[in-house]
Amino acid sequence: MTAETAATASRSRHDLVARVAAALGSVQEARWLVDHVEGVLPLAVPAEGGPPAGASPPATSPGATSLAATQAQRDLLAALVARRQAGEPLQYVLGHWSFRSIELAVDRRVLIPRPETEQVVEQALAELRRVAGERSGRASGAGRGPGADATASPGVDATASPGREVSGRGGPVVVDLGTGSGAIAFSVAVEAGPELPDLMVWATDLSDKALGVARANREALIGSDRPDDGGPAAKAGGAADRAGAGPLPSGALRALRSLRFARGSWFDALPASLRGGIALVVANPPYVSSTDYVCLDPGVRDWEPELALVAGTGTGGVGGTAEIETIVREAPRWLVPGGTLVVEIDPAQADGAIDLARRVGFGAVRTERDLAGRNRMLVAVR
């Protein structure tokens, strides 16, 4: 591309962003949408002396937009802008969103991963490192770990690694209950996998549709590390490439490949042999009360799955706590001694969650704050 063509393309991009920003009232969103379109349909470089094949006719500024924006790009951008104007969340319109170090495909089958959940993962990783450190100190050379003889329960995906044991090989077992897009499970696998070679991660959900998205995301994360393989990530225009640059470390890939999916309600999804053998249970369950649900921002209420958001009133009488209570009550019998439960909560649910965790036998119980300083997660050590 000559310097003159590059300058023209840059002006063209500026025009596109300005037009979309005027339509949506947000320059940032306009940039994301134009970036997305350029990622899916790369800029057409004009042949010497003429516009690129398929370029749209000159619009208001002759020569400028026609050089870079092809008709296909304009059509796609117009369709995306229309979806956004209809109220669809930007993340669904883009079809992907970043979470910590990974990029995840998202659509209406799954909750859009939130920044506060990134903090939940931060806590979960800290707890996992502590539990794994304590247990490796105590049990070095102890042989096969809990659940090593597990056989798959009906909801368990036994196809991920045919012929392999269902649970770990003596390493720490982590379970993400209600995985949705896979945000928590994959982040733990990618970030802790390199330092914990025997880490075994499970990802469960009640929703088959959500598990479909999670499975595709796992494949894309693994596929995105195989250059030129034409895998799902490549086909989706990089939709599920990693947000960070560079290939995944081999330990992360190993943890992703060995990760198991299971369908079912909370702990019912897991093989009984994992009971008493899990180092870390992490969950971001639905915790919005039905009263609050009707008042939610329509961009959330009308588009994201109700199953991912709404929960009944718990026995303590606090709205939205029914699923949190189920998880807190059942977790002690699934965790190793010293193992940790990390659950995302609404700040209004913190006192009740702490009380319940103490009553069901957790030893050390605390809440941790998100970046906005709100009590956002229950951390309970068995």
Ligand X SMILES: C[S@@+](CC[C@H](N)C(=O)[O-])C[C@H]1O[C@@H](n2cnc3c(N)ncnc32)[C@H](O)[C@@H]1O
Q: Measured from the CB of residue 236, what is the shortest distance to ligand X in angstroms?
A: 19
CA distance 138 to 225: 36
Q: Measured from the CB of residue 177, what is the shortest distance to ligand X in angstroms?
A: 6
Q: Measured from the CB of residue 330, what is the shortest distance to ligand X in angstroms?
A: 11
Closer of 12 and 207 to ligand X (Cβ): 207
Closer of 145 and 180 to ligand X (Cβ): 180
Q: Measured from the CB of residue 265, what is the shortest distance to ligand X in angstroms?
A: 4
Closer of 224 and 284 to ligand X (Cβ): 284
Q: Measured from the CB of residue 163, what is the shortest distance to ligand X in angstroms?
A: 27
Closer of 180 and 332 to ligand X (Cβ): 180
CA distance 31 to 92: 16
Task: Calculate helix-pair angle for 27-40, 3-24, nearest 10 degrees.
Answer: 130
Closer of 55 and 274 to ligand X (Cβ): 274
DSSP string, 312-372: ---TTS-TT-HHHHHHHHHHHHHEEEEEEEEEE--GGGHHHHHHHHHHTT-SEEEEEE-TT
Under 8 Å between Cβ of 61 and 121: no
Under 8 Å between Cβ of 285 and 343: yes
Residues with Cβ within 8 Å of 221's Cβ and at least 6 positions away in sequence, in order, are 102, 186, 190, 233, 240, 242, 248, 256
Q: Measured from the CB of residue 107, what is the shortest distance to ligand X in angstroms?
A: 13
Q: Measured from the CB of residue 344, what is the shortest distance to ligand X in angstroms?
A: 7
Q: Measured from the CB of residue 99, what is the shortest distance to ligand X in angstroms?
A: 8
Under 8 Å between Cβ of 200 and 59: no
End-to-end CA distance of the chain: 62
Q: Measured from the CB of residue 214, what is the shortest distance to ligand X in angstroms?
A: 9
Name the H helices within the chain: 3-24, 27-40, 64-68, 71-85, 90-94, 115-138, 183-192, 208-223, 232-235, 250-258, 290-295, 298-301, 306-309, 322-334, 350-359
The length of the chain is 382
> What does the binding site for ligand X look like in residue numbers (CB under 6 A)?
111, 113, 117, 177-181, 183-184, 204-207, 210, 265-266, 284-286, 307-308
Residue bearing tokens 């996998």: 193
Closer of 61 and 291 to ligand X (Cβ): 291
CA distance 33 to 18: 12
Closer of 89 and 231 to ligand X (Cβ): 89
Residue 283's DSSP bridge partners are: 177, 343
Which one, of 317, 341, 323, 328, lies nearest residue 285 by Cα?
A: 323
Q: Measured from the CB of residue 146, what is the shortest distance to ligand X in angstroms?
A: 22
User: CA separation (Å) from 133 to 36, 137, 198, 362?
Assistant: 42, 6, 13, 20
Closer of 266 and 362 to ligand X (Cβ): 266
Closer of 66 and 334 to ligand X (Cβ): 334
Residue bearing tokens 């961009």: 299
Closer of 146 and 285 to ligand X (Cβ): 285
